[in-house]
Amino acid sequence: MQGKKAAVYLSNLLNLIFRHQLRIIGSNHQPSIKRTMQTADVCTTQKAAEILGISVTSVQQLVEAGVIEAWKTKGGHRRIPMAAVEAYKGSAGQEARAPRPARQGAPAGAPSILVIEDSPIERALYKKQIASWELPASVRFCESGYQALIEITRDQPDILLADIVMAGIDGYEVVRTILADPLLADMHIAMASSLSPEELESRGGVPAGVVFFSKPVNYDELRGYLRACCAAHARRTRLPHSVG
């Protein structure tokens, strides 16, 4: 099943987020160990990203958040224990994934919508508006990129709406992670932000195949987009539906 393979892939990609933190080297408490470690015992963020299959930006953010232990050389370069990197990689698949949650409020086989928004007020607005449209779909909400990536490993959504500007792993990083995996190619993806066109361009622009909504979001446009996504999903799965 393609969705299951994608979830397993992302679980391997992001198991470091929901696995217990490995505290192998304490930069403030174990200086003698750092001094005795050989070059082969540590790696750069670039190497760690290659080993774990994630971007350098993700590694840097996880280091800064304290999820991956690391230290800086006198020249300001990060060094990460190879033992920690290998342990994270080797632990993939050893823990059983959480069961796929039941999708409430939608018929079996209906599409799943995942909304990522860190603002409580905007999440509340999304919830109210989407609920009023009575779409033949289930809807889930995440308040951060970290939470969203964990949720995707548990139950891959069919439709994603991501805020761009968020602390830690932002909407861009979530979307780029998804687009990098061909197993997730069928996912409908939209991004929303109040960033100006110049600011968007400085971040690399809107990725090809991704729909962009400027904030404040025009809910009539969003409703039309979600209805179209639900209809496309129904055609693909031949699910009897009514999008009114």
Which DSSP string do the residues of 154-171 spell out, in sequence order? HS--SEEEEES--SSS-H
Q: What is the CATH number of the domain that holds 78?
A: 1.10.1660
Element spanning 42, H or E: strand 42-43
Q: Answer yes or no: do 43 and 157 share one domain.
A: no
Query: To the nearest 10°, the Cα dihedral for 197, 201, 203, 205?
Result: 90
* Residues 38-43, mean pLDDT to the nearest whole number: 74
Residue 202, pLDDT above cutoff 80: yes
Residue-wise pLDDT for 145-199, tens only, equals 988 988 888 888 999 999 999 988 899 999 998 898 888 888 999 999 999 999 9
Q: Answer yes or no: do 154 and 116 share one domain.
A: yes
Average pLDDT value over all residues in the chain: 77
Q: Answer yes or no: do 49 and 134 share one domain.
A: no
Q: Answer yes or no: do 77 and 161 share one domain.
A: no
Supply the angle between the helices 82-90 and 45-52 in degrees, to the nearest 10.
10
Tell me the whole-structure pTM to 2 decimals: 0.61
- Of the CA atoms within 13 Å of residue 6, those in its CB half-sphere come to 21
Domain that holds residue 67: 6-90
pLDDT at residue number 78: 87
| Residue 68 covered by a domain | yes
Q: What is the CATH number of the domain that holds 150?
A: 3.40.50.2300
Q: Answer yes or no: do 76 and 133 share one domain.
A: no
Residue-wise pLDDT for 77-89, tens only, equals 888 888 877 766 6
Which residues have a Cβ under 8 Å from the Cβ of 76 and sit 6 or more positions away?
A: none
Q: Answer yes or no: do 116 and 233 share one domain.
A: yes
| Residue 133 covered by a domain | yes
Please tell me the total count of domains within the chain.
2
* Residues 29-43, mean pLDDT to the nearest whole number: 57
Q: Answer yes or no: do 81 and 176 share one domain.
A: no
Residue 99 DSSP symbol: P
Q: Answer yes or no: do 117 and 231 share one domain.
A: yes
Q: How far is CA 64 from CA 14, 57, 166, in A?
A: 16, 11, 15
Pairing type for strands 78-81 and 138-142 reads unpaired
pLDDT at residue number 68: 74
| Residue 102 covered by a domain | no
